[in-house]
Amino acid sequence: MQMRHSDVIVIGSGMAGMVAALSLAPLRVSLLTKTDDLPGGSSNWAQGGIAAAIDPADDPVEHAADTVAAGAGLTDPEMATLLTDEGARRLTRWINRGLPFDRNEDGRLCLGREAAHGAARVLHAGGDATGRTLMADLSARVRAAGHVTVETSAFAWDLVTGRQGVVGVLAHHAADGWVFHRAGAVLLACGGVGQLYRHTTNPVEATGDGIALAARAGADLADLEFVQFHPTALAGTRTGQVPLLTEALRGAGAHLLDEHGGRFMQKAHPLAELAPRDVVAKAIGGRIAGGLPVYLDLRALWADDGAARFPTVAGICAAAKLDPARLPIPVAPAAHYHMGGVVTDADGRTSIPGLYAAGEVACTGVHGANRLASNSLLEALVFAERAADAILASAPARPGPVALPLLPATLTPMPQAAAVAMQAADIMAESVGLLRDGIGLSCAIAELEALDAGLDREAAGDDHAAIRLSGELRNRLLTSALIAQAALARQESRGAHQRSDWPDARAEWRHRQRVTLTGPAPRIRVAPPRSPLPVM
Ligand code: SIN
């Protein structure tokens, strides 16, 4: 096994990982990504943009209020204020550094409106290719940064901890085999959990790795039961990553239609198609569960130059041989974003000394039970920079001697790993999805345990694909079980967590739920909150 030293290890190459790596200069950073190239993760697929109150007519206080309202009683208002206040300033700094956002003919930034925002405050880049445009720019900056060593095709198998906290990461590299990366600080920026579900807007790499790494190391986790489903993915037979039809379409006037061609969202919420995401997803998901199709009507928008304004959506429809100018497009909800994750303070610190987290894998408390549209890229940017500032201030020391980490002796055979991943995704979609109940959740937990117990083992070789697949399955099963157990424990409906057996929000559950893994198996201890949320 090779040993490599750096000051900081960043795991993940989405928005949070890239911004953190760039902000950590002059410290020596190793950026590990399991993808073959930069960028990785869901940021690259973001169509809708990045929300910030940068218009002089807007106010970060209003943006914070919208964030808190969407969070269904669980958003930490101090974190929301930090996000929106610092977000506007930090994003302006990136704009001044040349991050390429769309502008009007007169040079002013274009600001779009999205669901549950009280003002037009969403910046886009390349129309609806925001993630791709921004991540290409950030990838070039990271590649050019002398202080960052980019390690691609590097799968983080486990965090390594010592008495003083985290001391490094055991990773398997396609090119170099097992490597023990040592550093005084590790930042988790490895994204979300979408691929734990049958249908998701997230790319293949979103397998819940960060939560599993942190859980096995004993870090506090929170809000795991809150998985956001995007209301409008393209409906069809495909599983895994499905194309997203951005919420900005509804912000620009697209309507949802029922099987008779009538609008139904006006009856469900005063904001109709622009209601909070959980409300829209629930309304669509309920119809689809009852066997009724739902459509997104883009005809008026397409008559008004929509294809040019939404080139990514136009490409998706063309690939699916659908013509939005002629017919409404079939849509269905898909797993999109995880509000829960590794508990951090405002500076990205987790409960383990030296371990930081930022972006979707982190749980800052800013999203509560339901994230406001286009707040995720902003959160990634703000809290990655804050974590980098905290790491710089802590001047991470080279860790003292520790025992070499043990390598896995056995792996799950590849064909079985792929099949079990699909079975687990079906269980999550059936019983831990948009609408849950206690019996279904209990069954899901038992079924996930049975899948884990039934895995065959074969002697571990040095094949990178086999190690990554087996490692991802290990992470998927653990993270799925943690989400299901947290969902079973929360006996109420709130935001993205909807239970048919507990259909209302309950005052006694108006707190965040902490979870720590107490042993190697996914048995969890649901810890009470450290402090109740202030009443707004
Ligand atoms: C979208 O474009 O609808 C997704 C934006 C988001 O999830 O914030």
The set of residues, in sequence order, having a beta carbon less than 8 Å from that of 425 and lying 6+ positions away, is 195, 196, 197, 198, 239
Q: For a substitution probing ligand 1, which of 66, 113, 114 has the most ligand atoms within 8 Å of its CB?
A: 114
Confidence band, pLDDT 50/70/90 cuts, at residue 520: low
The set of residues, in sequence order, having a beta carbon less than 8 Å from that of 346 and lying 6+ positions away, is 78, 79, 82, 364, 383, 386
Q: For a substitution probing ligand 1, which of 246, 316, 377, 378 has the most ligand atoms within 8 Å of its CB?
A: 246
The set of residues, in sequence order, having a beta carbon less than 8 Å from that of 508 and lying 6+ positions away, is none
Which helix H or strand E contains 359, and what residues bound it?
Answer: none
Give strand pairing partners of 499: 436
The set of residues, in sequence order, having a beta carbon less than 8 Å from that of 333 and lying 6+ positions away, is 199, 229, 230, 231, 232, 233, 281, 284, 285, 288, 434
Q: For a substitution probing ligand 1, which of 244, 247, 277, 379 has the most ligand atoms within 8 Å of its CB?
A: 247
Which helix H or strand E contains 177, and what residues bound it?
Answer: strand 177-182
Ligand 1 atom nearest to CA at 372: 8
Q: 470, 412 in Cβ contact below 8 A?
A: yes
232 lines ligand 1 (CB under 6 A): no
47 lines ligand 1 (CB under 6 A): yes
Give whole-number Cα distances, 12 to 204, 209, 220, 418, in Å: 14, 10, 20, 22
Q: 357, 39 in Cβ contact below 8 A?
A: no
360 lines ligand 1 (CB under 6 A): no
Please say if the pLDDT value at position 187 is more than 60: yes
Please say if the pLDDT value at position 534 is more than 60: no
**Mean pLDDT computed over 500-517:** 95
- Provide the residue ranges of all domains of the chain, joining segments of one domain with +: 2-225+337-394
- Quick one: pLDDT at residue 38? 98
370 lines ligand 1 (CB under 6 A): no
Neighbours of 348 (CB within 10 A): 29
Active-site pick, 250, 277, 436, 494: 277
Query: Using CA atoms, how far apart are residues 194 and 200, in angstroms rounded to an integer?
Result: 5
pLDDT digits (tens, 9 = 90+) for 46-100: 998 999 999 999 999 999 999 999 999 999 999 999 999 999 999 999 999 999 9
Q: Which of 466, 467, 254, 277 is nearest to 367 (CA)?
A: 277
SS3 assignment, position 20: helix
Query: Using CA atoms, how far apart are residues 168 and 154, in angstroms rounded to an integer?
Result: 14
- For the four alpha carbons of 453, 456, 459 and 461, in that order, the dihedral sign comes to negative
pLDDT digits (tens, 9 = 90+) for 389-439: 999 999 888 888 888 999 999 999 999 999 999 999 999 999 999 999 999
- Quick one: pLDDT at residue 114? 82
Which tokens belong to 313? 């959506």
pLDDT digits (tens, 9 = 90+) for 150-182: 999 999 999 999 988 999 999 999 999 999 999
Ligand 1 atom nearest to CA at 374: 8
Compute the distance from residue 246 Cα to the ligand 1 centre, in Å: 6
Domain 2-225+337-394, CATH: 3.50.50.60
Ligand 1 atom nearest to CA at 128: 2
pLDDT digits (tens, 9 = 90+) for 280-309: 999 999 999 999 999 999 999 999 999 999
Ligand 1 atom nearest to CA at 247: 3
Note if 198 is an active site residue: no
Compute the distance from residue 405 Cα to the ligand 1 centre, in Å: 40
**Mean pLDDT computed over 222-226:** 97
Give strand pairing partners of 159: 169
364 lines ligand 1 (CB under 6 A): no
* 24 DSSP 8-state letter: T
Please say if the pLDDT value at position 463 is more than 80: yes
* Structure-token match 């940017």, residue found: 381
Compute the distance from residue 488 Cα to the ligand 1 centre, in Å: 28
Please say if the pLDDT value at position 249 is more than 70: yes
Query: What is the model's pTM?
Result: 0.96
- For the four alpha carbons of 278, 279, 283 and 286, in that order, the dihedral sign comes to positive
Query: Using CA atoms, how far apart are residues 166 and 435, in angstroms rounded to an integer?
Result: 38
Compute the distance from residue 375 Cα to the ligand 1 centre, in Å: 9
